[in-house]
């Protein structure tokens, strides 16, 4: 992939298109995690492609193309949410589907609902999309230790919540 990035940085449009093709599913999943409407997802993705195309020459480390692109995508998603002055909540997600269109299970969304929005984003990027702590840190513009700590605290909070639910369920 680094070879494609080098070619894209030199102005090779075909190489850039190949980079986008290889990453479009990841882009869709991340955008869908932030945005509810398909039109908004499409807008965020197209804005991201345009921004990346215009600024690919400014990418410092070719190996981090995907993280760089995802960070740009997240920023576009946040901009869309700010403009609409709304946010995604689990209540807005239809419960009739066993699987959300982006591959994230509704059960997972319900599980992480008690977490803060930013922590839900970290959990989704880590557990659903398989990004590493370092990649999440780059995407979310945080320190790696912050991401790792939030994952740890989130796991602990969810464990306590599940234990409390289990205890309640056992006393009935």
Tell me the domain boundaries of the chain. Answer: 1-89, 103-172
- CA quadruple 150, 93, 42, 47: dihedral sign: negative
What's the CATH fold of domain 103-172? Arc Repressor Mutant, subunit A (1.10.10)
Residue 149 has pLDDT above 90, yes or no: yes
Higher pLDDT, 36 or 31: 31
pTM score, whole prediction: 0.60
The chain-wide mean pLDDT, for the chain, equals: 81
Q: How far apart are CA 84 and CA 50, in angstroms?
A: 21
Amino acid 143: pLDDT:
92
Local confidence band at 68 (pLDDT 50, 70, 90 cut-offs): very high
**With 0-12 CB in 10 A as exposed, 13-18 as middle and 19+ as buried, what is 142?**
middle
Higher pLDDT, 128 or 21: 21
Amino acid 92: pLDDT:
47
Local confidence band at 37 (pLDDT 50, 70, 90 cut-offs): confident
Amino acid 23: pLDDT:
92
The answer as to CATH 1.20.1090.10 being correct for domain 1-89 is: no
Rounded to a whole number, what is the distance in angstroms from the first to the last CA of the chain? Answer: 56
Residue 168 has pLDDT above 80, yes or no: no
Amino acid 91: pLDDT:
45
């Amino acid at each position: 992939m680094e070879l494609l990035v080098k070619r894209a940085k030199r102005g090779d449009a075909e190489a850039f298109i190949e980079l986008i093709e290889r990453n479009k599913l990841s882009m869709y999943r991340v955008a869908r995690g932030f945005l509810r409407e398909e039109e908004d997802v499409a807008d965020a993705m197209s804005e991201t492609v345009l921004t990346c195309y215009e600024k690919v020459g400014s990418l410092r480390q070719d190996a981090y193309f995907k993280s760089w692109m995802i960070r740009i995508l997240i920023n576009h998603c946040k901009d869309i949410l700010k403009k609409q002055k709304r946010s995604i909540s689990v209540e807005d997600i239809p419960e009739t589907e066993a699987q959300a269109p982006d591959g994230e299970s509704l059960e997972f969304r319900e599980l992480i609902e008690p977490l803060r929005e930013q922590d839900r984003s970290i959990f989704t990027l880590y557990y659903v999309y398989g990004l590493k702590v370092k990649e999440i840190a780059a995407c979310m513009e945080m320190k790696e230790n912050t991401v790792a700590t939030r994952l740890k605290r989130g796991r602990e909070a969810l464990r306590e919540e599940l234990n409390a639910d289990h205890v309640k369920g056992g006393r009935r």
